[in-house]
Structure 1
C-alpha cells in the first residue's frame, strides 16, 4: 500500500469529526444525568468506551430524545452552523435553572473546505475525550447537591440564519443566579474543537 493510500485511510473527514463530537456528547450527557442523580441509578447500565466505564440511560424516551437531538446536531456540525450546545438542569417545581453544562464548539482549519480532513490520530482524540469524561464524572465532588426534582433540556445555539426544523423552538437563555463556573479540559479533532464548562448556582 502506498503511503498516500495509507494516509487517506486514517484521515478523519468533516463528517467523521462531527460523529466523534456527537459520540462524546452522548456519553457526556448520559454521565451528567447519572452523576447529578436526575434519574434513579437502576435506569442506567454500564458501557465501556474511551477506556472508561460510563453509565448510560436505559430509558427509551431519553435514548430517543438524545438520538434525535444529536442526529440533527451532527448535520449542523457538518454545516459549521453551531456555536454551543447547552444541557440545562431545571428545578421541576420552581422552574429555576440549577445548573448548565455548556459545550462550546470552535471550527479549526480551512472552514470553507467541505472536503476538510484531519490527520490527528483517533487514539489521541479518544484520550483527550477520556480526560474530559473523567472530569465530568469527578465533578460531583464540588457541585452542589441537587436535592429537588430536576428535569433537563438541551439547547443548541446556532448561527442566526439557520432554518430550524418544525419540532425545534426558540429558547430563552438559561441564566443562573449567583453563578459559579468550572472549565473542563478541551479536546479537538483539528476540525472541531470542544470546550466543556459547567455553571452552577453557588449557595454561599
Structure 2
C-alpha cells in the first residue's frame, strides 16, 4: 500500500500508513472507553491483533471524511497533530483528549531537488507494523488506569494544521481542547521512516 520501487516509502505512503493507524486507533479508543455500546462493534484483524471496529454507519462516514482530508493534508506536510476529544454530552466538558502528533524525521529521508513533497525513505513495512502494534496494545491497556467514564459522551476530531490552507465546506475552526485538572500519559511512538508519530492521552482527574 505504502511502498514504491526498491521498497521506498514516499510522503504520500507515509500519510496512508498513519491514516490507517488513526482509523484503527480511534475505533479502539471508542470501544475501550465505552463511548458506544459494545454490541455496535465487530472484530477486525490488523497488525496481528484483534481490534474492535464500530459498525455504526454515522461513525464510519464521519471517520472516512475526516481521515480522507487528514491523508490529503498530511501528504502535503500541513498537519501538526490530530486530536480525538471525548466530551460529556450534557455539560460539554472535555474529559479526555488523545493527541496524535506527527513530525518529519529529516535524518532518515531523502529529498529530491529540495522538494519536500518528494521525500522518500526505505523502512521495512513489517518493522513499522510491529511498532504500531505495540502502540495499539498500549491503547487497549489504558482502560486499566484511566478513570471510568460514567457520563454519556460524544467524540470529535480536531486537526491542527501548521499552514494556511483551504478547509472543506461545513468544516469550521475551533479552539483547542482544554482539560482542567488533567493528567498526561505518553504512549509509545512509531515511525514510518518519514514521520514520527507520538500518541499522548490527556485525561481529567476525578475529584
TM-score range, shorter chain: over 0.9
Give the 3-state SS of the residue equivalent to 2:180 in structure 1: coil
Equivalent residue for 1:97?
A: 94
1:162 partnered with 2:159? no
Matched, 1:38 2:35: yes
Moved beyond 6 Å, runs of 4+ = none
Distance 1:113 1:159, change over 3 A: closer
Equivalences for residues 118-157 of structure 1 within 5 A: 118-157=121-160
Deviation sequence 1:130-179 (CA, Å, 0-9, x none): 00000000000000001000000000000241221222100111100110
The unaligned stretches of length 5 or more in structure 2 are none
Which residue of the other structure, out of 71, 76, 79, is the alignment partner of 2:76? 79
The residue number in structure 2 matching 1:57 is: 54
TM-score normalised per structure 2: 0.92
Aligned length: 198
Match of 1:107 in 2: 104
- In structure 1, distance between residues paired with 2:192 and 2:71: 14
Distance in 2 (alpha carbons) for counterparts of 1:171 and 1:113? 28
SS of equivalent residue, structure 2 residue 189 = strand
1:18 corresponds to: 15
Q: CA deviation at 1:108?
A: 1.9
Name the structure 2 match of 1:185: 188
Q: Distance in 2 between matches of 1:169 and 1:108?
A: 30
With structure 1 as the length reference, what TM-score do the two structures score?
A: 0.94
Unaligned residue ranges in structure 1 (runs of 5+): 1-6
